[in-house]
Structure 1
Amino acid sequence: MLKKILRRRNFLILQAITSIVLMIMVVRLGLVPTKYLVILGLVLVALELGMYLWLQPYKHRHHHDKKGKTRYLIGKIVSLVLSVLMVVGSLAVSKGNKSIDEMFNGNKEEITYSVVVLKNSSYKKLSDLNGKSIGIQPNVDTTNQNYILKEIAKKAKLSKTEYLNYQAVAQGLVNHSVECILLNEAYRTTLAEYDSNFSKDTRVVWKYTLTQNVKPQKKSTNAAGTFIVYISGIDAYGTAATVSRSDVNMIVTVNTNTHNILMTSIPRDYFVPLANSGKEDKLTHSGLFGVENTVKTVENFMDIDIDYYARLNFSTLTKVVDAIGGIDVYSDQDVHLNALGNKLITEGMHHMDGKTALAFARERHSYESGDRHRTQNQQDVLMAIVKKMMSPSLLTNYAQILDAVGNSFTTNMPADKMKEIASEQLNTNASWNFSSRFLEGTGKIMTGGYMMPNTKLYYTIPNENSVKQNKQYIKEILSNDTIN
């Protein structure tokens, strides 16, 4: 008799243990509001009580009663299935919690250096260059560059030829002044502005990737319940941690007291003083020195304190949009998306999948205002993603969403801060007011930029009134006002 009771109790004990573990995991996740935790707890208790009653033996039923045996067997199977589901759920929640911690606490950047030779040269590997000369720019990223040169020295002894800038370094290779150059791969797209055939006429014989921590942000002076996030959008291969130009630059001002969000976009070609040099160049070039350099550049230019940054890889935006079931975006005119074979998007609201959203965010040739309109579309796409992800219904799909975001996203916002915001939103399901603004400027082709001082490039000269007005808009959001 005791054996039978213990066998029955084994299923109930297993179910109870897995229920408790699941509850602990969900609590540790930190995303689920208290009222939902209470509901989950009551459901788990009800299931345990239900199975306890189901598996109770009938005193007056003969042990040969087939119905009683069948009921008992079904009860054990159901209890076992519930236990298995709770184990699976616990593992999924644990994995999600780990992914969130890694994503929101992983302040790292990846910098890739290459030894580059002319494509028609005979050099196949680094050792073939032993005794030759390597072109470098010594005054940029000196610490990392010296480390890389030491790694190179382990495989080949090269004499260094120094140049004033990367443009001169590339020219030295093309003119056969040196047999190879050391290239920070983040600068490759910048060199393409000087020589569109550079990548086609050269090849890489050695590559090394450095992973380093991003410096933490200083303590913000923004009032309680308010914070500013700088969003840097890159459009490059690799992870969002890859050091690259910042092609999308957006200041997101958030006031959780008034539920106002202001998105302020800055043109990628805005001619501003770079924080690392004090010299003016395109804002997009600030990203070549790391995301913290862009953050500091924007802080200095806009007279604000940025609490957090987030870097998004627009090349993998499709995965995120598809994971959340698509987004609803309004197009203010008929437009043909070149990236999708000239696909027509008519004026009005559209439900977009990942490919369409990415093409819409990239399109500029179909608009008279070009990059100005593209920036507006990028704001609309990001706004639609944020709105969709605020929906409580996505909580059941959060693991898939985290997998999709993966290498597409990196931030220095602490995981606890994100969980606090998400939990509050799930608890209140508050309606947010979104506003979007754009810093205006005048396009100009000229020389004099810090990175490529002798090359004529396109820059956007800031409109002082626009800069002043947008500074005021940000202050209004931070001071609990709603901008007109």
Structure 2
Amino acid sequence: MASKVWIMSSKTAKKRKKKNSQALMISGLVLSAVQFIVSVVMIVFIHYIGLIPTSIKVAAGIILIGCSLITAITQRWKVLGIITKVLSVILSVIMVVGCAYLGFTRGYLGKMTGKKTQTDIVGVYVLSGDVAQSLEEINGYTCGRIPTLDSDNLEKMLDDISNKDVALSYKDYTSIMDAVDALLNKEVKSIIINESYLGVFEDMDGYENLESRIRCIYSEKYVTQVEDSNSKYMSNENVIGIYISGIDTSGPPNTTSRSDVNILLFMNTKTHQILMINTPRDYYVPLSISNGVRDKLTHAGIYGIDCSRETLEMLYGINVEYYLKVNFTGFLNVIDALGGVDITLDYDATLSQTGNLTVHKGVNHFNAQQALTFSRERHAYADGDRQRGKNQMMVINAVIKKMASPSMITNYTSILNTVSDNMITNMSYDKISELAQLQISKNIDWDIQSYSVSGEGASATTFSAGKQKLYVMVPYEDQVKQATAYLEQMCRDEIINVSE
């Protein structure tokens, strides 16, 4: 009897063991099916983001699908099947997270690329003591305008005013200075002016408190197209030219504004060199719209990003196809998300123009606020604006290096969000994808060279300020020629060795 019970118990145990084995196999096959589906989704995302070379995409696809098949096959064995189940779960979770990150990357890059518009804010201004609080309340006022500047946006504003049944008596002026002076001197009771033009007065003696003396009672935002570069200057199919414009204002980066940072960056995909040329904001040069009349380079920005780019094309005689516009204040917030940046200096200095910061020879670790102070300072240096340009290039270079380090991973989405909120470019996503694939496939170790032009400080009239004299930097022509010579070398696919 006991023997019979033992036999029945043994059979029951075998059945239970068989059921458990079948359950393990079925669960393993289910996991392998889930892994296969997630692998397919991952492959689709890798293709969708477009940043990975085809050879790597194919290899990744084979490996991912192969892993799911291995998971299915190994379910025939208990121990090996359990191991592959665990690995399958881990790999599936990693792929799901990876898909999310790839989606974030595609979305954020799409947000900042291919931007070919800019936003101008045009306003109607009165004296701060005027009783009028709205456009309707200035009906019948005399109004100054500048028809030779920003004519398209001016026409839009005149139409908007007319559509609101407001009748104004217009008086035309030929310069920004004349129009603002007319309002301050009460020759007219109001003026129509692009908000970006008011940035010109920040450099002028006697106009430091202009914002408290005039008041905007009505404004409109107008979106205009930024034209592609069609210059006939020197170029090379291996050379990619990017104008980096740094603004230091609140609001989105596509808002028309003065450009305080003006860096030309050229990449030669054949020689694997990058050349950055910094041009001081006060450089005294003809603008592309000024018919040969000189102005401060920073003022070119108030007429649009294309004016700044075209002005630099004229100065150096080279085609610059792309632009990258950065709100420097907002962009530097990414430094805190990266845990700070390290910048190596060969001097000691105390910087106090926009904060109190002591820097020293050797490695300096900066947070966002310190990096901003370092980037803005010019009064502490004998070279002034030229050294500030060098400092800004050092900060940009440090951020790029830090973003290529493992610290990027810990705050990936936060960093991408900050960058996309404060940076725009007319470079298409497809072009960025092409460059990313080139970098990944060839693992290029770029040789970065930089050069800064300088000049002599002077006081002179400008296109934007009219008869009012401003501080300007008259270019050292030999340095401009040297910068042009470096660019010519790059366009001949020659190796550049910059010496300053």
**1:317·1:358 contact (CA, 8 Å) conserved in 2?**
no
Matched residue type, 2:319:
D
Give the one of 411, 430, 433 matched to 1:416: 430
Return the letter of the residue paired with 1:381: V
Q: Shift of residue 316 of structure 1? A: 1.2
1:437 shift after superposition: 1.2
Match status 1:237 vs 2:257:
no
Per the alignment, residue 228 of structure 2 pairs with 216
Write the distance in 1 (CA, Å) between the matches of 2:23 and 2:221.
Answer: 62
Asked if residue 375 in structure 1 is aligned to residue 389 in structure 2, the reply is: yes
Alignment of 1:1-150 (within 5 A): 11-33=31-53, 36-37=56-57, 40-41=60-61, 44-45=64-65, 47-49=67-69, 51-52=71-72, 86-150=95-159
Query: Which one of 150, 168, 171 corresponds to residue 158 of structure 1?
Result: 168
Could you tell which deviates more after superposition, 74-83 or 438-447?
A: 74-83
2:111 touches 2:420 (CA, 8 Å); kept in 1?
no
Alpha carbons of structure 1 residues 299 and 6: separation in structure 2 relative to 1, 3 Å:
same
The separation in 2 between residues aligned to 1:409 and 1:438, in whole angstroms, is 23
- Out of 294, 300, 303, the residue aligned to residue 286 of structure 1 is 300
- Counterparts of 1:117 and 1:75, CA distance in 2: 75
Residue 96 to residue 478, structure 1, CA distance change in 2 (3 Å)? same
- Once residues 158 and 459 of structure 1 are traced to their aligned partners in structure 2, the CA distance between those partners, rounded to angstroms, is 37
User: 1:437 is matched by which residue type in structure 2?
Assistant: Y
Deviation at 1:339, TM superposition (A): 6.4
Q: Aligned partners of 1:186, 1:362: CA distance in 2, in Å?
A: 20
Structure 2: 5+ residue stretches without partners:
1-21
Q: Is the 8 A contact 1:253 1:262 kept in 2?
A: yes
Tell me the amino acid that sits aligned with residue 25 of structure 1. F
Instruction: Tell which deviates more after alignment, 79-88 or 12-21.
Output: 79-88
Structure 1 residue 56: deviation in Å?
A: 6.3
Q: Deviations over 1:198-245 (max 9, x none)?
A: 101222222211122211223875223222222111111112111111
What 5-or-longer segments of structure 1 have no aligned partner? 59-70
Higher Rg of the two aligned structures? 2
Which region of structure 1 is more displaced relative to structure 2, 353-362 or 11-20?
11-20
- State the partner residue of 2:17: none
Counterparts in 2 of 1:362 and 1:340: CA distance versus 1, 3 Å: closer
Report the alpha carbon displacement of residue 372 of structure 1 after superposing the two structures with TM.
2.0
Distance 2:467 2:481 in 1: 31
Determine whether 1:453 maps to 2:466: yes
CA distance change for structure 1 residues 379 and 25 in 2, over 3 Å: closer, same or farther? Answer: same
Letter in 1 for 2:186: H
**Relative to structure 1, is the Cα distance of residues 331 and 386 closer, same or farther in structure 2, using a 3 angstrom cutoff?**
same
Aligned residue in 1 for 2:192? 182
Residue 374 of structure 1 aligns to a residue in which SS? helix
C-alpha deviation, 1:440, in angstroms: 2.3
Q: How far apart are 1:249 and its partner, in Å?
A: 1.3
Amino acid in the other structure paired with 2:262? N
2:206 is equivalent to residue 193 of structure 1 = no
Quote how far apart the aligned CAs of 1:40 are: 4.1
Would you say the 8 A contact 1:235–1:247 is kept in 2? yes
| Bigger mean CA offset, 130-139 vs 74-83 | 74-83
Stretch deviating more after TM superposition (199-208 or 316-325): 316-325
Contact 1:319 1:404 in 2 (8 A): yes
1:393 positional shift: 7.9
SS class of match (2:113):
helix
Aligned partners of 1:366 and 1:407: how far apart in 2?
31
Deviation at 1:295, TM superposition (A): 1.3
Write the deviation string for residues 292-334 of structure 1: whole angstroms up to 9, x where unpaired: 1111111112111112111111111322333444332122211
Does the CA contact (< 8 Å) of 2:25 and 2:76 recur in 1? no
Indicate the larger mover: 467-476 or 3-12: 3-12
Contact preservation (8 Å) 1:317, 1:354: no
1:219/1:415 Cα in 2 relative to 1: closer, same or farther (>3 Å)?
A: farther
**SS of equivalent to 2:124:** strand
Number of equivalenced pairs: 472
TM-score (norm 1): 0.87
Report the Cα offset of residue 145 of structure 1.
0.9
| Distance (whole Å) between structure 1 residues aligned to residue 405 and residue 290 of structure 2 | 43
In 2: Cα distance, 1:271 partner to 1:344 partner: 31
How far apart, in 2, do the equivalents of 1:349 and 1:72 lie? 53
Contact 1:243-1:291 at 8 Å conserved across structures: yes
Which deviates more, 269-278 or 48-57?
48-57
Q: What TM-score do the two structures reach when normalised by structure 2?
A: 0.85
Rounded Cα–Cα distance in structure 2 between residues aligned with 1:352 and 1:315: 14
Contact 2:246–2:328 under 8 Å retained in 1: yes
1:182 alignment partner, SS class: strand
Counterparts of residues 316-395 of structure 1 (less than 5 Å): 316-338=330-352, 341-390=355-404, 394=408
Task: Tell me the equivalent position of 1:62.
Answer: none
Match of 2:264 among 248, 251, 254: 251
Q: Percent same amino acid among aligned pairs?
A: 34
Q: Which residue of the partner structure matches residue 476 of structure 2?
A: 463
Give the 3 Å change call, closer, same or farther, for CA 113–54 of structure 1 in structure 2: farther
Counterpart of 2:159, as a letter, is: K
Amino acid at match of 2:175: N
Deviation at 1:398, TM superposition (A): 5.3
Letter in 2 for 1:121: D
CA distance in 1, matches of 2:134, 2:74: 72
Shift of 1:342: 1.6
Q: Alpha-carbon deviation of 1:401? A: 3.3
